[in-house]
Amino acid sequence: MNIEERRKERVDRGIKVRTDGIYAIMSLRELSYLTMPRLVLIVGLLILPLVMPGMYWQRVISIVCIYSLLAISFDFLAHFVGLVCLGGAFFIGIGGYIAAILNTSFGFPPIFTIPISTLLGAAICTVLLLPCLPLRGVYFAIVSLMYPLLMARIIEALNILGGTDGIVGVDSFANRWIEQYFVLLMVLLSLFGMRRLVNLDIGLVFRAVKDNDQAVRASGISITFYKAIAVFIASAMGCLSGACLVHIYMWSGISQFALDFSIIPIAATVIGGAGTLVGPVLGCFILVPISELLRDFGTLRIVFYSLILVAFIVFRSEGVMVYGQRKYHQFERWVKI
Amino acid sequence: MAILIYGIINSIALAIMALGFALVYGVSRVPNFAHGALYVVCGFVTWSLLRGLNLNYLVSIILAMIITGVIGALIYQFVLIRVRGMAISEIIASYAIGLAILEGFRWWGFKGMTYTLPVFVEGSINIGDIPVDLHRVVIVGICAAVVASLWLFTHYTRIGLALRGMAQDERAALMLGIDSDFMAVVAMAFGSMLAGLAAILLLPLGNIVVEAGYNVLILAIAVCIVGGLGSWMGAVIAAFIIGFAQILTVVYWGAHYQMVVALLAIIFTLILKPSGLFGRQKELEERV
């Protein structure tokens, strides 16, 4: 009696191999193999506000986009630079408060407050995080988790910036179409911008910092400088989303430093697929609508997505996007050993 | 004088909150972010045994601590063990479990003033001319006893020695026949029971609320980081530093700043000396 042993083998699809080199693309089929996933994403995102039933779900789209921006910035920092930043809420809060102050105290319209708060907020975040940049691993994660909590407590204790009431009366976007298409375009822009960036020379340095920082230092490159640049880029995305959030809700308050903004992007990244940049966006489009559907259950939805997060991290740590990419590019077959 | 007495009491309360966290991290290198949730769980289980089943207070305390220990061990055995060694997954997984437990309680209607535990001893005594609740005196006594017995346990029993061996060098411990996974489960159970003990000692001073879980987690992390992750003595000493700092800020600035002190302590310690006052982490592991 002989036992036949088999194992699963993964082989790249022929079309993937052919389209890897740019010179080989010669048929429409190969062209569409390359462009279809990107086109589906872009066109899908752009027509999404048109097909949504009612105002409520259109608002949800804007919120999804805000979380997506945060999730992209988390994914970029964690999986391309090696800084796991658990304090996404810090970026949101800083950007949001700056936008709110500029709008209510100085009377700038949203078209000015958003870019200003993006750049200024990113600069402030970078300067504040600068002392902890030499830290790595768990230490950076914990210290960045503490920053938003500290900001909220300080605002509460000093009773500045509106204290616990927050800043009310912020202008909204001109109309809801501008609001939605603005955040959608920002998501697309940062998504493809980041994909481009991590493949440039500077992206190479970022990944080297993640994989082996000693080697980077030995090459005469300042690690802290590059980490600071990465934090600036990531926090710019976070502050941008914070500024948009404030203009959407027409209000800025301590709850922007709440843990929601730190945990949902991380959950989305884990579910969507870490290190793909598209995955986090996909994760947000899965998670946030689910959490909206469960709004009636109150805090039970936090329980719900915490459990999803645990399940994914323990059993399926690769995420949806990596799985999808594998199925798209490769086929599997059983082979005899 | 009042500052001295209340500083000591506050410090000891912090120490008992942090010991469980320090124990788990020291042995298994898993930062147990579900610590605060276990604290609330134990308080709640005690309450429901006491009020729901009308058990004796002492019996319900012991049962609740055992239940909390088992919950901690189960969390480790079924979830954390699979992500061990991946620092970020450990943090996210344990934090998500803690979040699920705490928010589950909140959803279930667990808030407000209705959930309180009775104090052990009524009344108060005067030390010098400062009135102090007898319960707080009892806390100090029990905590001193716990620290002492923990020290004896880790120095003179087989399991305790094995735990210390794991904490010092896991591979060497493995070679000497110590089952590292099992010891980590034991450590997690002990850590959870210490969280439960802290809950039982401290909750009678206030209400059982969900927010306590988050605050305890932050304070425990603050104490452990200032003292050096993985160092038990460091945690106790750091508890005294932070405890007195908190009492001083309450006296001279205001109660609002209590948490700010803890958070600032974390941030400054991590920036200046990430391994803490008594940490034994290698410099290269933590910063570039």
Q: Which of A300, A301, A303, A282 is nearest to A291 (CA)?
A: A301
pLDDT at B282: 52
Give the number of other CB atoms < 10 A from CB of residue B161: 15
DSSP A241-299: HHHHHHHHHTEE-GGGGSTHHHHHHHHHHHHH-TTSSHHHHHHHHHHHHHHHHGGGGTT
pLDDT in tens, A152-195: 888 877 777 776 777 777 777 778 888 888 888 999 999 999 98
- Min Cα–Cα distance to chain B from A103, Å: 29
At residue A230, the pLDDT reads: 92
Length reported for chain B: 288
Q: What is the pLDDT of residue B288?
A: 47
C-alpha dihedral sign at A256, A262, A267, A268: positive
> For residue B36, which amino acid is it?
G
Closest-CA distance of chain B to residue A302, Å: 6
Pull the structure tokens for residue A69.
């921006």
**Of the candidates B285, B288, B85, which has an alpha carbon nearest to the alpha carbon of residue A215?**
B288
Long-range Cβ contacts of A23-27 (<8 Å, 24+ apart): none
Instruction: State how far the Cα of B30 lies from the Cα of B12, in Å rounded to an integer.
Output: 24
Which of 85-104 (A) contact B at CB < 8 A? 86
CA distance A313 to chain B (A): 7
Q: Left if phi > 0, otherwise alpha if psi is -120 to 50, otherwise beta: which for A54?
A: left
User: Closest partner residue to B260 among A86, A157, A307, by Cβ?
Assistant: A157
Q: Which helix (H) or strand (E) holds A336?
A: strand A330-336
Assign residue B202 the CATH number of its domain: 1.10.3470
Nearest CA in chain A to B30: A138
Q: Do A139 and B92 touch (CB under 8 A)?
A: no
For residue B282, the one-letter residue type is K
Which of A132, A153, A313 is the closest to B270 by Cβ? A132
Please give the average per-residue pLDDT across A213-237, as a whole number. 89
Question: pTM of the predicted model, to two decimals?
Answer: 0.82
Residue B78 has pLDDT above 60, yes or no: yes
Distance between CA atoms of A240 and A115, rounded to whole angstroms?
7
Identity (one letter) of the amino acid at B45? V
Residue A11, pLDDT above cutoff 80: yes
Between the ranges B66-70, B168-172, B276-280, where is the mean pLDDT highest? B66-70
> Residue A144's closest CA among A266, A22, A14, A24?
A266
Chain B contact for A217 (CB, 8 A cutoff)? yes
pLDDT at B284 over 50: no
Report residue B65 as tokens. Answer: 């601590």
B286 to A137: CB separation less than 8 angstroms, yes or no: yes
Q: How many domains does chain B have?
A: 1
Angle at which helix A54-76 crosses helix A176-197, to 10 degrees, equals 20
**Is residue B264 within 8 Å of A150, Cβ to Cβ?**
yes
> Nearest Cα to B229, choosing from B161, B160, B281?
B281
User: Higher-confidence residue: A22 or A156?
Assistant: A156
CB B85 within 8 A of CB B70: no
**Banded pLDDT at B280 (limits 50, 70, 90):** low
d(CA B11, CA B26): 21
A299/A260 Cα distance (integer angstroms): 11
CA distance B273 to chain A (A): 10
Q: Give the domain range for residue B48.
A: 2-122+130-286
Give B170 to chain A, closest Cα distance, Å: 19
pLDDT value for B110: 63
Is the pLDDT reported for residue A317 higher than 90?
A: no
Give the DSSP H/E element, type plus range, for residue A168.
strand A167-168
The per-residue pLDDT for A233 is 92
Inter-residue contact A82 to A283 (CB < 8 Å): no
Asked casually if ipTM beats, i.e. exceeds, 0.95, the reply is no
Q: What is the mean pLDDT of residues B9-29?
A: 81
If you average pLDDT over residues A190-210, what whole number do you get?
Answer: 89
The pLDDT > 90 percentage for chain B reads: 0
- Of B207 and A109, the structure prediction assigns the larger pLDDT to A109
User: B88, A300: Cβ pair inside 8 Å?
Assistant: no
pLDDT of B48 higher than 90: no
pLDDT band, residue A120 (cuts 50/70/90): very high
DSSP lists the bridge partners of residue A167 as A252
Instruction: Give me the residue from B106, B218, B256 closest to A157, CB to CB.
Output: B256
Phi, psi of B120 (to 5 degrees): -70, -50
Q: Do A138 and B87 touch (CB under 8 A)?
A: yes
Whether A131 has its CB under 8 Å from any CB of chain B: the answer is yes
Q: How far is Cα A230 from Cα A219, in angstroms, rounded to an integer? A: 19
B107 closest CB neighbour out of A297, A309, A313: A297
Best residue of B107, B215, B258 to probe chain A, by most A CBs closer than 10 Å = B107
A208 vs B: CB within 8 A: no
User: How far B8 CA sits from the closest chain A CA (Å)?
Assistant: 25
Residue A239 pLDDT > 80? yes
Which residues, in sequence order, are CB contacts of A165 under 8 Å at separation 6+? A253
Return the half-sphere exposure (C-beta side, CA atoms, 13 A cut-off) of residue A314.
Answer: 18
Closest CA to A189 of A236, A131, A255, A248: A236
What gap in Å lies between CA B92 and CA B85, rounded to an integer? 13
Average pLDDT over residues B187-203: 85
Size of interface A-B (CB pairs under 8 A): 121
Going by C-alpha positions, the residue among A140, A150, A142 that lies closest to residue A77 is: A140
In this structure, which amino acid lies at residue A58?
Answer: Q
Say if the Cβ atoms of A149 and B256 lie within 8 Å: no
For residue B228, the 8-state DSSP code is -
Task: Report the chain A residue with the minimal C-alpha distance to residue B80.
Answer: A314
- C-beta of residue A230 within 8 angstroms of C-beta of residue A74: no
Please state at what angle helix A223-249 crosses helix A88-106, rounded to 10 degrees: 50
